[in-house]
């Protein structure tokens, strides 16, 4: 008499594999979090003042490099139509959107840290960056003489119009944007144009002033903006931004 074997019940296997995406952090967002920790050192009032200034400068330099390399690469992928998500589940477009929110928040904190905390603290230590409008006539004359001797000879305005391609803008360079209005004859219709002036990198951005009892400076781009008339001759010119 044969022995009847009982059928074994099939073993149930749990196929609910956990979503591994939540175990990963996007590389670019992680880098912004790192830079936020550098910014936190600049905001920390227990740190020495000039160390805080240095940390803020590092934060800005890091952010510049981040956009030049990593954000630029994401734009290349997005423009090429690449839609494959990264291990964290974010496509290039999703990463760009998230980075925009985080970067705008960080830039706001950078300016807030400088204007509300560092700049007032520097003033209390007699270190100040002044506006040219606040200088005396004697100081403005000294600045103009220095500008004409040291800066004016190396400036080259580049016109912007619809008749030629937009001029090449150098990476990590500062520019003054000028709006120029030309009216050669009294009764003729005025003509408007725009120009870019690159701020020379070989000249220190902080221009020292001779003020007793303090270390005072003006920004090089402000000096250039205040003397645009020396570059364009008999036209009305207005600095539109840096």
CB atoms within 10 A of CB 153: 8
pTM for the structure as a whole: 0.79
Identify whether 92 is part of a domain.
yes
Domain stops at, among 102, 124, 146 = 124
Measured CA distances, 103 to 22, 43, 194 (Å): 22, 17, 30
Q: Decide if 106 contacts 35 (C-beta within 8 A).
A: yes
- Count: domains in the chain: 2
Q: Coil, strand, or helix at residue 183?
A: coil
Identify whether 4 is part of a domain.
no
Identify whether 84 is part of a domain.
yes
In this structure, are 145 and 88 located in the same domain? no
Instruction: Write down the pLDDT at residue 14.
Output: 47
Identify whether 8 is part of a domain.
no
In this structure, are 133 and 59 located in the same domain? no
Domain stops at, among 124, 146, 179 = 124
Instruction: Write down the pLDDT at residue 15.
Output: 46
CA distance 156 to 159: 10
Identify whether 16 is part of a domain.
no
Render pLDDT for 110-126 as a digit per residue (tens, 0 to 9). 999 999 999 999 999 99
Mean pLDDT by 10 residues, the chain (242 residues): 56 48 86 97 97 98 96 97 92 96 97 97 96 92 96 92 85 88 59 86 93 93 93 68 58
Identify whether 110 is part of a domain.
yes
Domain stops at, among 124, 158, 186 = 124
In this structure, are 203 and 144 located in the same domain? yes
Identify whether 217 is part of a domain.
yes
Residue 100 sits in a domain of what CATH number? Answer: 1.20.58.310
In this structure, are 53 and 157 located in the same domain? no
């Amino acid at each position: 008499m044969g022995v009847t074997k009982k059928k074994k019940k099939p073993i149930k296997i749990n196929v609910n594999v956990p979503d591994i995406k939540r175990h990963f952090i996007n590389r670019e967002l992680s880098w912004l979090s790192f830079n936020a920790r550098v910014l936190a050192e600049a905001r920390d009032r227990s740190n020495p003042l000039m160390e805080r200034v240095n940390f803020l400068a590092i934060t800005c330099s890091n952010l510049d490099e981040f956009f030049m390399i990593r954000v630029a690469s994401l734009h290349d992928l997005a423009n090429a139509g690449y839609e494959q998500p990264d291990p964290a589940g974010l496509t290039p477009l999703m990463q760009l959107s998230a980075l925009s929110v985080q970067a705008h928040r960080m830039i706001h904190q950078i300016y807030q840290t400088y204007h509300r905390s560092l700049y007032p603290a520097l003033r209390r230590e007699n270190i100040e960056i002044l506006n040219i409008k606040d200088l005396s006539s004697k100081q403005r004359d000294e600045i103009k003489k220095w500008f004409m001797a040291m800066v004016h000879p190396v400036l080259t305005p580049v016109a912007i119009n619809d008749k030629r391609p937009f001029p090449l803008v150098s990476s990590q360079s500062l520019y003054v944007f000028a709006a120029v209005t030309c009216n050669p004859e009294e009764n003729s219709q005025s003509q408007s144009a725009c120009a870019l002036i690159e701020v020379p990198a070989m000249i220190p951005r902080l221009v020292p002033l001779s003020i007793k009892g303090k270390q005072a400076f003006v920004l090089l781009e402000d000096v250039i903006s205040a003397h645009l008339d020396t570059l364009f001759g008999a036209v009305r010119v207005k600095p539109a931004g840096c």
